[in-house]
Structure 1
Amino acid sequence: MSTNDAHSAGKTPASAVPGDTAREAKATAAKTGPKPRPEKARQPTSIVPSSTIAGRALVAVVAIMTFLAAITIGSAVAVRGTASQWRSDVTREVTIQVRAGDKATTDAQVQAAADIARKTPGIADAHILTGEETARLLEPWLGSGLDLNDLPVPRVVVLRLDGAGTADLARLKRTLTDKIPTASLDDHRGWSRRLVAVTDAVMLIGVVMLVLVGLATVLSVVFATRAAVATNRAVVEVLHFVGARDGFIAAQFQRHFLKIGTQGGLIGGLAATALFGAIAALPQLGLGGDPELPTVVSWLNPGPWGFLGIAVAVAVVALATALTSRVTVYRTLRTIQ
């Protein structure tokens, strides 16, 4: 073996050099590019699109229906509460009216009527209305600044009952008629009966309106659900044929319409609450009359029970929307062969 051959045999091949191997690995990695990252699992999508023009329109319809239902509930509760307060005030008081005549004679008759009432068992107090108090009572009809001396305005004695119900008003009426022919006793029973009749009529109208609003809401949801099923019929049929249960498909629509019902219900309920709150605040702002005096505005305050009824209406609308859509989907799936 020659010296050159020995040198050749002792040399290391270039490809075996560590530096060259690292450079080749980098070049290969640059050509092939970075390793692809594992894809994240996709979130399952709903059968029904979450936001469509029809969905937004149904939210508006549900909001309007909920607003009308909430206004009806709040108004009915307010009217019932006001009527109950009026009846309570009326049943605790009766009045004696003495027809106007000669001033001295009338004053004596009024005083005699008050004395007779005070001696009657069951009468807690007898108050003779002054001229100023009588003027305030007549102010809504006759206006202010009117001189009552020129008018034959009867004198009024307000009797407050003790609440035990022991006052014999029939006997008191006979006594007044015998001793003071110009006096008459009014226990407000006729007015109370009319008030009860009006209150019952208002409550009946409220119930009818709630039924109509509920029926309109249900029909709107039924048509919207059928339209959604028809729009996504191909997807529904595929799921149905591959073995998806009707309960799974119905749950998808129910979840979608529950969201719509909740959104619409909250919008309508909050709008009604804001309206009643604004009405209740008008007297304090000086826009609804004297805050210390009862007015029509102050009588439209539904109170805690009215606002609770509005909250219940919102929940009922949301649940009714979801259940109606579920039943409609079940019936529609039966038609798919």
Structure 2
Amino acid sequence: MSMSKAPSSKKQASEPADPARKAAMRVRPTAPIVPSTNVSGHALMLVIAIMSFLACLTLGAVSMVRATAESWQSQISREITVQIKPDETLDMDKALADARDLALTFDGTTAGNIVDKEATARLLEPWLGEGLDLDELPVPRLVIITIDERNPPDFAAMRKALTETIPQAYLDDHRTWVDRLVAMAHTTALIGTGVLVLVFSAMVLTVIFATRGTLSGNRHIVEVLHFVGAEAGFVASEFQKHFLKISLKGAGAGGLLAAACFAAASFWQARALATPQSDQATALFGTFAIGWMGYLGIAAIMIVIALLTTLTARYTVMRTIYEIDLIRSDPARTDTNQN
């Protein structure tokens, strides 16, 4: 009887007493191959955030300058000015009306406005002060003609007709100013693009060296995984996932901070209209709004930074595994490393 019960008691002793413990023994928690947080990872994230912020700021500034230059060019190109010099034998009011009516007879003109004495005095206040009496000064009077930019009038014919009808009249089509403004806008945009290229190049080099420096600290992980049989593609994919998370966080932080700066500047400018500070900033830099194209460019820079960091990490891991294989295949180099 006792011998027949022995196998049964032995079988019961070999089984786990608690089913929950048996389930826990089957599931082992797996840790990531690449440590999720370390000092080098935080440093790389900070570097990416700073360079992303600078690149996005430069891109937004270039977009803002180009938009402002185009606005100035459009405003100058929309109008021409007829200037009439005073003369003792000239009826100024009649001459202004005749010049306006004559200019409006040409195709491509849409409206005409005579600048009255009060408006002319306000234009001269910064140089001659207040309380001007234009009747006592030989100040030219102006007629502003609005034109169709797409179908401008024949300026040569208009200038000839005005000179024949009113010898004291002079037509200024602002072509000289437009040409200078276009040249200035192109130069400014070229300089800004050059600065953007330099900032982006510095960012690329910084990200590459920072990524390689971070990977050099994890070289032992790559060697161990490769020695136990892990394929190069698998190891590289694990590292690129890790660096993709870091780059997305860093690029996202820098890009969002730059977008917030432009949004805050635009909000301040809208709230501070007609103030000396806002007027001076608008005169120097134009509007701080970069538009949806500017924000789309910021998003594109964030994506490019993330892809660049990820591809750099993958290339560095594959290069490291290639160097490990070279060392293993060269007995002389292996002996040298062991010694």
The normalised TM-score by structure 1 is: 0.79
Against the structure 1 CA distance between its residues 252 and 145, is the aligned structure 2 distance closer, same or farther, given a 3 Å change threshold? farther
Are the aligned partners of 2:244 and 2:309 in contact in 1 as well (CA < 8 Å)?
A: yes
Q: What is the CA-CA distance between 1:90 and the residue it aligns to? A: 2.6
Q: Residue 95 of structure 1 contacts residue 159 of structure 1 at CA under 8 Å; is this kept in 2?
A: yes
| Pairing partner for 1:334 from 317, 322, 335 | 322
Matched, 1:123 2:112: no
- Residue type of the alignment partner of 1:304: W
Match of 2:84 in 1: 98
SS at match of 1:124: strand
Aligned residue number for residue 27 of structure 2: 41
Rate the CA distance shift 1:275–1:332 in 2: closer, same or farther, 3 A. Answer: same
Correspondence 1:147 to 2:151: no
Offset at 1:91? 2.5
Matched, 1:74 2:60: yes
Structure 1 CA distance for aligned equivalents of residues 308 and 133 of structure 2: 60
**Bigger mean CA offset, 145-154 vs 114-123:** 145-154
Check the 8 A contact 1:283/1:289 in 2, yes or no: no
Contact in 2 for aligned 1:110/1:128 (Cα 8 Å)? yes
Q: CA deviation at 1:101?
A: 5.1
Counterpart residue identity of residue 69, structure 1:
A
User: What letter matches 1:160 in structure 2?
Assistant: T
1:85 to 71, 78, 103: 71
The one-letter amino acid of 1:193's match is D
Residue number in structure 2 paired with 1:254: 240
Q: Which runs of 5+ in 1 are unaligned?
A: 1-24
For residues 151-200 of structure 1, the C-alpha deviation after alignment (integer angstroms, 9 at most, x for no partner) is: 65432111112455251110111222233333221111121122222222
> In 1, distance between residues paired with 2:129 and 2:31?
71
92-101 or 243-252, which moves further after superposition? Answer: 92-101
One-letter amino acid of the counterpart of residue 321, structure 2: L
Mapped contact 2:41–2:214 kept (Cα < 8 A): no
- Counterpart residue type for residue 96 of structure 2: V
2:282 maps to which of 295, 303, 328:
295
Q: Deviation per CA, 1:22-45, whole angstroms, max 9, x where unpaired?
A: xxx9xxx9xx99784523634433
Aligned partners of 1:79 and 1:300 also within 8 Å: no
The alignment yields a C-alpha RMSD, in angstroms, of: 3.3
- Judge conservation of contact 1:280–1:298 (CA < 8 Å) in 2: no
Q: Equivalent residue of 1:127, what SS?
A: strand
Higher-Rg member (1/2): 1
Aligned to 1:133: 119
Which deviates more, 210-219 or 293-302? 293-302
Distance 1:303-1:215 versus aligned 2 partners, 3 A rule? same
Corresponding position of 1:245: 231
Deviations 1:12-64 (A, max 9, x none): xxxxxxxxxxxxx9xxx9xx997845236344333332222222222222112
Q: Does the aligned pair in 2 maintain the 1:47–1:232 contact within 8 Å?
A: no
Confirm or deny: 8 A CA contact 1:258 1:322 kept in the other structure.
yes
Check the 8 A contact 2:255/2:298 in 1, yes or no: yes
Corresponding position of 2:311: 323
Note the 1:1-337 alignment, pairs <5 A. 36-37=21-22, 38-39=24-25, 41-100=27-86, 105-135=91-121, 137=123, 141-142=126-127, 145=130, 147=132, 149=134, 152-163=138-149, 165=151, 167-286=153-272, 289=275, 295-296=282-283, 299-336=287-324, 337=327
TM-score, normalised on structure 2? 0.79
2-side partners of 1:43 and 1:146: how far apart?
87
SS in 2 for 1:50: coil
Cα distance change on mapping 1:293 and 1:215 into 2, 3 Å: closer
| Matches of 2:239 and 2:122, distance apart in 1 | 62
Structure 2 CA distance for partners of 1:293 and 1:195, relative to 1, 3 Å: same
Q: Distance in 2 between matches of 1:147 and 1:89?
A: 28
